[in-house]
Chains A and B, each alone.
Chain A
């Protein structure tokens, strides 16, 4: 199945092997961190949701302030 690479088989295969390994590592780490952070957010949102309401903030937050973000689950 592997094409005839001749005397350059080692450089070609190592280039493909190393690059695909790096890309796969990047994808796996990104997906795992995304899942971990999503779970942590769910947990803290549930905890904060159960807690009594915090006193009102002294100034109105900006439209994109962290407290205004709700659709992150």
Chain B
């Protein structure tokens, strides 16, 4: 099946309707197992103590906050180039999810930072770029709500998404670019010297899988809702013209 078949609303509704229960069930299972494993069955870290348990929320939410914006970037580009409505509606559907995940990453980071760094917040490159990413999410959602014509809103929000991608990249790579500030490097790395110990890494991978599946499930659900809302607008218009 071609990827472009998803651009047809009828086919998207059929395929997403079949997939959604399975993805949602997988998300619930992976999150339940990963968070239980991480919270109840892992030891304290020798330096961080029990605050290491925050990693199971902080890392997956931060990872998905950035990836959600990249998904929005791809779907916005598809809209700008090929004018597929489902594509831009998927971007619109993903924005509130990305915003909540960014908020969770900022919140859990602050709660972890206070006992470990001695401060809730620092104007560190990664923290600052993450805060700006959060503001971009708010701006993106507000712009959709502020414009009545859906196609104009789609065009303008897609351009905003392209601009915001700079901060999504910075959020991911700020630590490497500037090599300064409080935030440490990546917790997950192919370099075994840098990677977290297996006892923390294994439940973390399950939690990341849970967050990925939750994101996919919510995007499918919310995109279906946006497609239906668009259909309601079209029918209401037809009704007024009849």
Contact surface of A with B, Cβ cutoff 8 Å: 1, 3-9, 11-12, 14-16, 18-19, 22-23, 25-27, 30-31, 33-34, 37-38, 40-41, 44-45, 47-48, 51-52, 54, 63-72
| 8 Å CB contact of A11 from B96, B115, B225, B227 | B115
B104: A residues at CB distance < 8 A: 18-19, 22-23
B39: A residues at CB distance < 8 A: 3, 16
- The tally of residues in B whose CB lies under 8 Å from a CB in A reads 52
A45: B residues at CB distance < 8 A: 235
B126 within 8 A of A: no
A58, chain B: closest CB distance, angstroms: 12
Q: A5-B50, A8-B50 are in contact. Are A16 and B57 (CB under 8 A)?
A: yes
Chain A residue nearest to B99 (CB atoms) is A26
| 8 Å CB contact of B54 from A9, A11, A47, A51 | A11
The digit string for B207-242, where 1 denotes a CB below 8 A from any CB of A, is 000000010001001101101111111111011011
Q: In the complex the two chains form, what is the Cα distance from A69 to B233 in whole Å?
A: 12
Q: Is the CB of A18 within 8 A of B107?
A: yes
Q: Is the CB of A54 within 8 A of B112?
A: no
Q: Is the CB of B57 within 8 A of A34?
A: no
Q: In the complex the two chains form, what is the Cα distance from A64 to B87 in whole Å?
A: 12
A72: B residues at CB distance < 8 A: 9-10, 13, 227-228, 231
Q: Do most interface residues of chain B lie in helix, strand or loop, or is the interface mixed?
A: helix
Interface centre among A3, A8, A22, A52 (most CB of B within 10 A): A8
Q: A5-B50, A30-B221, A54-B241 are in contact. Are A15 and B234 (CB under 8 A)?
A: no
Q: Is the CB of A15 within 8 A of B232?
A: no
Q: In the complex the two chains form, what is the Cα distance from A69 to B9 in whole Å?
A: 7
